[in-house]
Amino acid sequence: MEVAGIDVAEASTTELVDAASVIAAELARRSPPESAAACMELAEALAAAGDLQEAALAGLVEVVDRGREVQRWGFPSTRAWLRSRLGMREARAKERLTLARQHRRLTEVAGRWAAGELSTGYAATIADAAARLDDTDCAAAQEILLGLVEQGCSAGKVASFGRRIRDIIAERDGTGTPPHDARHGYEQSWIDSSRSLDGGRYIRGWLNAEDTAIWDGTLAPLAKPAGTDDHRDQAERTAAALSSVLSGGHKATKVTVICDLDTLTGGTTPARLTDGTPIPAAHARRIALAAGVSPLLLGRGNLPLYLGHRVRFASPAQRQVLETLYPTCAVHGCEIPGTLCEVDHVHGWALGHSPTDIDQLTLTCGWHNRYKHTNPRHIHITREHNGNRYTYRLHPPGTDDLTTRATWNTAASRPPPTSQAA
């Protein structure tokens, strides 16, 4: 069989990927047939081919994740690589990573998926259900859920049974969860808790918008992965963050709300969090009643924002400005919150090139701050036209010249750099 001028049986994996890319590009350029019936048939065939491609992708991602290759390219995690380089949204990146990590444990699912007998939707549903099970329970869950697929159950119903499997195992182990309390509405926040037989505690509840802002400002920064070796999921990290807060082992809690003076004095203009999330004016005023309010000056004035070369470390006022300008790490695609980042001298304070001035500072996570120091030629620095923010972009290891950097940015569908740092 000949496809794109190659023998499929004899072609290498690289040649097959190149051929699939050429075919996909040609398909995308073509207009669909006029016949709706023909389009329906072609769509089903193309979707089935897409499932096979997803099965191949899971195998590739599994090897990348296991080999920690992404760290060599400056990404703190495989999920960050999927979001940045493959352009995936958070939910899709998480799903693809779960599929990759369960690929070896779910051998029957992987085999049927690669043979075209199982869709990506079913495979992802079963992988999600098995992700937190041990190997014995994983094998049992795989058999049960594949049986439901053979009976013609929808992916949604299989997902429901997958959640129930976890509940059954939890009940078997004495850690079952109580039923949802539907007596409360959604106007007021509420939390319900009860003790389990093994001394633990179940927690269910609801937070309104105001309390959610406080929750996010307090727990979200503490619930971020501790590093590349942190394999806890979001729920486990959130529980650890809550325990840290309750035990007093966390840093001073801070919720940054940005708003106009008019909003604090009765106006209706919404405030916002540092990540851009809008907060109703009334909620912002209630938060301000229990918080300190300070002016934020983006220039010379009452706050010492320009310290020159005589001071190395940024002042609290400078950090306050930077956390407002940088909701996340300055590296393009990195989503570590600015509140957890380190202050970075753009051109290097130790070399005498960058004073400790607000327009020469940025925020980078600990990973990328060290990466920039040890791989300075792998970081491409640009600055916005208005001069307020810097953006760091990574380029592949082993490529240093400007031509390669421009090619890398183009391949990643990123805007061309406006300036180049020395």
pLDDT in tens, 279-315: 788 877 777 665 554 444 444 443 444 444 444 556 7
Q: Token match 């999927």: residue?
A: 82
The confidence score (pLDDT) of residue 127 equals: 92
The confidence score (pLDDT) of residue 183 equals: 52
> Average pLDDT for residues 262-268, to the nearest whole number?
79
Is the pLDDT higher at 134 or at 357?
134
CA atoms in the 13 A half-sphere facing the CB of 100: 22
> Considering only CA atoms, which of 119, 201, 192, 200 is closest in space to residue 152?
119
- Is residue 50 very low, low, confident or very high in pLDDT (cuts 50, 70, 90)? very high
The confidence score (pLDDT) of residue 291 equals: 58
The confidence score (pLDDT) of residue 112 equals: 93
Weakest mean pLDDT among 83-97, 164-178, 213-227, 359-373: 164-178
The confidence score (pLDDT) of residue 9 equals: 79
Tens digits of per-residue pLDDT, 236-254?
888 888 877 776 654 545 5
Is the pLDDT assigned to residue 182 strictly greater than 50?
no
Is the pLDDT assigned to residue 45 strictly greater than 50?
yes
Residue 293 burial class via C-beta count within 10 angstroms: exposed 0-12, middle 13-18, buried 19 and up: exposed
- Is residue 58 very low, low, confident or very high in pLDDT (cuts 50, 70, 90)? very high
Is the pLDDT assigned to residue 159 strictly greater than 80?
yes
Q: Cα–Cα distance between 211 and 207 in angstroms, integer?
A: 6
Is the pLDDT assigned to residue 141 strictly greater than 80?
yes
Is the pLDDT assigned to residue 167 strictly greater than 70?
no
The confidence score (pLDDT) of residue 260 equals: 73
Most confident of the ranges 91-100, 224-233, 321-330, 376-385: 91-100
The confidence score (pLDDT) of residue 381 equals: 85
> Average pLDDT for residues 355-359, to the nearest whole number?
64
Q: Cα–Cα distance between 324 and 346 in angstroms, integer?
A: 17
- Is residue 400 very low, low, confident or very high in pLDDT (cuts 50, 70, 90)? low
Is the pLDDT assigned to residue 202 strictly greater than 60?
yes
Is the pLDDT assigned to residue 375 strictly greater than 90?
no
- Is residue 213 very low, low, confident or very high in pLDDT (cuts 50, 70, 90)? confident
Give the predicted TM-score (pTM) of the model.
0.53
Question: What's the one-letter identity of residue 82?
Answer: L
> Considering only CA atoms, which of 90, 88, 93, 99 is closest in space to residue 122?
99
> Average pLDDT for residues 199-206, to the nearest whole number?
72
Q: Token match 């421009």: residue?
A: 406
Is the pLDDT assigned to residue 399 strictly greater than 70?
no
> Considering only CA atoms, which of 210, 218, 215, 216 is closest in space to residue 187?
210
Please report how the helices 36-67 and 120-130 are oriented relative to each other, as an axis angle in degrees rounded to 10: 40
Q: Cα–Cα distance between 253 and 232 in angstroms, integer?
A: 23
Is the pLDDT assigned to residue 108 strictly greater than 90?
yes
The confidence score (pLDDT) of residue 49 equals: 92
The pLDDT mean for the chain works out to 75
Which structure tokens are listed for 189?
């926040």
Q: Cα–Cα distance between 393 and 372 in angstroms, integer?
A: 10
> Average pLDDT for residues 127-152, to the nearest whole number?
86
Q: Cα–Cα distance between 158 and 144 in angstroms, integer?
A: 10
Strands 361-364 and 342-345: antiparallel
> Considering only CA atoms, which of 313, 292, 288 is closest in space to residue 304?
313
Tens digits of per-residue pLDDT, 11-27?
888 888 888 888 888 89
